[in-house]
Amino acid sequence: MGLLALFLYILTISTAASGGGGGDEAALLAFKAGFSRRSSSSRLVSWNSSTNFCNWEGVTCSRRRQPTRVVELDLPSSNLTGTLSPAIGNLTFLRRLNLSSNGLYGEIPNSIGRLNRLQRLSLSYNSLSGECPANLTSCISLKILDLDYNQLGGHIPVELGNKLTQLQMLLLTNNSITGPIPYSLGNLSSLRNLYLDYNHLEGLIPASLGKFPSLQELSLEANMLTGEFPHSIWNLSTLRVMGVGLNMLQGSIVANIGEKFPLMRFFGLHENRFNGVIPSSLSNLSRLTDLYLATNNFTGSVPPTMGRLQFLKYLYIGNNQLTADERNGWEFLTSLANCTQLQEHARQKFAGRAAAKIDCKPVNDNAVA
């Protein structure tokens, strides 16, 4: 931290202690000072003493309070380059902080845990590093926590599932987070979107993830998760997206899957160790657009009713132990003519009758008999 930023931070603390709106102005100036000279943002030009800080670009104040306090700081895609000043924790009436798609680096300051009125925190698409701060669990009003596409490491704080009881969206895609998925996440009864994909998570998927009453999107792809896929997750009837591909999970698809997920659009189990047959009831998922089952150990034949999936765009079932011969097992190809939205490159997977092209394993004459 430079001398100017340090001075402004100290000034912010002393001013904020008196409860004046001037503390918010000093916090904003310290926030601005945290950015390097390489930062080319034009949105901070208005941030000077010639105008009231409530009129600065990206700043929203509550006019109902005296003194006036900052309630929103909204600067996405603003070419901000530098660190996030600890002074941000002095904007104690902040309800929304959106700094996504900038050039922020360094650690998320622990002082952000003082923002107990914060409802939305969006820091995605930056280069923030260090561990996911445990102090975030003090932001007890959070509904959206979006830290996608950074370089965060460490474990997911266990306290997160016990304290952020109002959380609706937890987005941690594409970081370097390690360790297990905390069982406590199942306590987030308001959760609608859970994205933990493309990290380094390991161990079992906790059965508690099947407790969410209104979860719509679940993505755990591209981790190192192992063990049996929890049966409880098959009961999440509100799911529209379920992606668990690119792990080392085991299990089979429940026979009545077509009745389990009436809203399902994306269903991805690819590159795992799932086995058993592909249930014919899967074709009852009438809203399905993406079906990824490739590179597992599925056996039997492809259900001939696949053509019922009229909205299907992407279908990948290759590299399994599926069987077909010259007389049986190819009926699904004819039915796919009804899938008028199936993308061309996906169609090419099934363009020919040669077993190698559709990745079905031919059975010999003795097996047919």
The answer to whether 211 and 232 are in contact (CB under 8 A) is yes
Over 60: is that where the pLDDT of 220 sits?
Answer: yes
Q: Which two tokens stand for residue 257?
A: 């899957």
331 pLDDT above the threshold of 90:
no
For the segment 175-195, what is each residue's pLDDT rounded down to a tens digit?
Answer: 999 999 999 999 999 999 999
The pLDDT value recorded for residue 7 is: 45
Amino acid identity of 207?
Answer: A
CB half-sphere exposure, 196, CA atoms < 13 A: 24
Residue 276 β-bridge partners: 298
- Residue 224 CA: distances (Å) to CA of 124, 132, 161, 193: 23, 19, 21, 21
Q: Read off the amino acid at residue 188.
A: L
Whole-number percent of the chain with pLDDT over 70: 84
Per residue in 49-96, pLDDT (tens digit) is 899 999 999 999 997 767 899 999 999 999 999 999 999 999 999 999
* Structure confidence at residue 368 (pLDDT): 22
- Of 203, 243, 239, 200, the closest CA to residue 220 belongs to 243
Question: Is the predicted pLDDT of residue 343 greater than 90, yes or no?
Answer: no
What is the b/e burial string over 134-144, where b = at least 16 CB atoms within 10 angstroms of the residue's CB? bbbbbbeebbb
The residues near 364 (Cβ < 8 Å, ≥ 6 apart) are none
What is the per-residue pLDDT for 330?
A: 67
Query: For helices 3-17 and 22-33, what crossing angle results, to 10°?
Result: 160
Which has more pLDDT, 129 or 348? 129
DSSP type of residue 192: -
Confidence (pLDDT) at 207: 97
pLDDT value at 152 more than 80: yes
- Mean pLDDT rounded to a whole number for the chain: 86
Structure tokens, 292: 């990824």
Helix/strand/coil percentages in the chain, nearest 5: 25, 25, 50
Interval 355-364: pLDDT, tens: 323 444 433 3
> Which residue type occupies 316?
Y
Tell which residue, 144, 175, 8, has the closest CA to residue 85.
8
Domains in the chain, please, with CATH?
A: 95-100+107-349 (3.80.10.10)
Query: Which position has the higher pLDDT, 9 or 264?
Result: 264
Burial (CB count <10 Å: 0-12, 13-18, 19+), residue 126: buried
d(CA 23, CA 361) in angstroms, rounded, equals 70
Question: Would you state the pLDDT for residue 74?
Answer: 97
195 C-beta neighbours (distance < 10 Å), count = 21
Q: HSE on the CB side for 66, CA within 13 Å?
A: 0
